[in-house]
């Protein structure tokens, strides 16, 4: 039984994908498990800036706690880098090491190649989000996180998934348009970190509107752990992903392979 480009990409990347899954899930679980150790004193130690950054007045609550370090910083940064690394390799990386030319010399259109590579990236993101979701459900009662419902965890996991997919599409799209591997990786990672900071610190600069430029705002701004699915925000991430892929595809079909 031979594999499609999508399944072969997943298979070829199985080791690194396993690493990303383990890293993201463990961070969420370990931080979640520490919630019962939180005391009113330790809440005080959270810097005001960080509290403001996430607009959490109720940092002592389970949703508030999970919304800071684990789902506000660590998990999103891990999946950001999953997206960047996987997306940069999908086109730019494989173009540089010659693997793209091998596949495209077969009866495979550039459109099909790009979409299947993106599909593999998206499947990886779904698996990461699913494992985080299952992990949180597993520790929910033992870590006294019952105030966050399964639906709210599902909403947060969906946002994690779309954040990874968005930055994956950005890296893949820039590579498709002709960016070199190193440049695509560094560039997209910088955009990711900058947009993270923009979302976190724009309110303190009195520029709340600036937040709305950042993809991270659409990831966490609606506080899915407290408010459940933010369809409007998820829709913005999904729409941006489609637009970026469309532009990447348009450019990819028009250019020379390196």
Partner 1 sequence: MEPVIQLEKLTKRYGSRRGIVDLSLEVYPGEVLGYLGPNGAGKSTTIRLLLDMIRPSGGRARVLGLDPRADAVALHRRVGYLAGDFVVHKRQSVRECLSFLSGLRGGVPAARIDELAQRLDLDLSARIKSLSKGNRQKVGLVQAFMHQPELFILDEPTSGLDPLVQQTFLDLVREARAAGQTVLMSSHIMSEVEAVADRVAIIRDGRLVAVSGMAELRSRTALTVQVEIEFTTAPNANRFAVLEGVTDVTVEGCTLRCRAQGSPDALIKLAAEHTVRRIRAVEPDLEDLFLGYYSSEEKARVA
Closest alpha carbon to 169 in 153, 191, 154: 191
Q: Which is nearer to partner 1, 111 or 142 (CB)?
A: 111
Q: At closest approach, how far in Å is the CB of 11 from partner 1?
A: 9
* Cβ-proximal residues to 17 (8 Å cutoff; 6+ apart), any chain: 10, 86, 124, 127
Q: Which two tokens stand for residue 164?
A: 């990874």
Q: Which is nearer to partner 1, 99 or 186 (CB)?
A: 99
Q: Which is nearer to partner 1, 48 or 256 (CB)?
A: 256
Q: Which is nearer to partner 1, 38 or 251 (CB)?
A: 251
How many degrees, rounded to 5, is the angle at CA 131 between CA 130 and CA 137? 90
Return the SS3 of 47. Answer: coil
Q: Which is nearer to partner 1, 176 or 198 (CB)?
A: 176
Q: Which is nearer to partner 1, 26 or 104 (CB)?
A: 104
Q: At closest approach, how far in Å is the CB of 200 from partner 1?
A: 39
| Cα atoms in the 13 Å half-sphere on the side-chain side of 49 | 7
Residue with tokens 């999946």: 79
Determine the Cα–Cα distance for residues 239 and 181; give it in Å rounded to an integer.
25
Residues binding partner 1 (CB under 8 A): 2-5, 8, 12, 97-99, 101-109, 256-257
Q: At closest approach, how far in Å is the CB of 21 from partner 1?
A: 19
CA 251 centroid distance within chain: 24
Q: At closest approach, how far in Å is the CB of 131 from partner 1?
A: 24
Measured from the Cβ of residue 194, the count of other Cβ atoms closer than 10 Å reads: 12
State the helix-helix crossing angle for 14-33 and 110-139, rounded to 10 degrees: 30
Q: At closest approach, how far in Å is the CB of 248 from partner 1?
A: 18
Q: Which two tokens stand for residue 155?
A: 């909403």
Q: At closest approach, how far in Å is the CB of 19 from partner 1?
A: 15
Determine the Cα–Cα distance for residues 47 and 68; give it in Å rounded to an integer.
11
């Amino acid at each position: 039984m031979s594999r499609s480009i999508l399944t072969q990409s997943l298979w070829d990347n199985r080791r690194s994908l396993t690493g990303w899954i383990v890293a993201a899930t463990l961070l969420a679980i370990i931080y979640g498990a520490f919630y019962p150790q939180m005391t009113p004193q330790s809440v005080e130690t959270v810097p005001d800036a960080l509290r403001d950054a996430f607009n959490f007045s109720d940092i002592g609550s389970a949703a508030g706690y999970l919304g800071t370090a684990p789902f506000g910083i660590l998990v999103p940064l891990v999946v950001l880098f999953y997206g960047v690394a996987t997306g940069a390799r999908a086109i730019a990386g494989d173009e540089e090491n010659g693997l793209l030319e091998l596949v495209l010399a077969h009866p495979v259109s550039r459109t099909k190649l790009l979409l299947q590579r993106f599909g593999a990236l998206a499947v990886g993101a779904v698996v990461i989000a699913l494992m985080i979701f299952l992990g949180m459900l597993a520790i929910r009662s033992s870590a006294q996180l019952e105030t966050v419902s399964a639906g709210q965890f599902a909403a947060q996991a969906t946002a994690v998934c779309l954040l990874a997919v968005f930055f994956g599409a950005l890296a893949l799209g820039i590579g498709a348009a002709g960016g070199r591997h190193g440049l695509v990786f560094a560039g997209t990672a910088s955009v990711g970190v900058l947009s993270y900071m923009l979302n976190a610190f724009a309110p303190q600069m009195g520029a709340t509107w600036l937040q709305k430029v950042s993809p991270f705002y659409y990831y966490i701004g609606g506080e899915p752990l407290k408010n459940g699915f933010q369809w409007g925000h998820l829709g913005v991430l999904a729409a941006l992903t489609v637009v970026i892929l469309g532009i990447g595809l348009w450019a990819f079909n028009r250019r020379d392979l390196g």
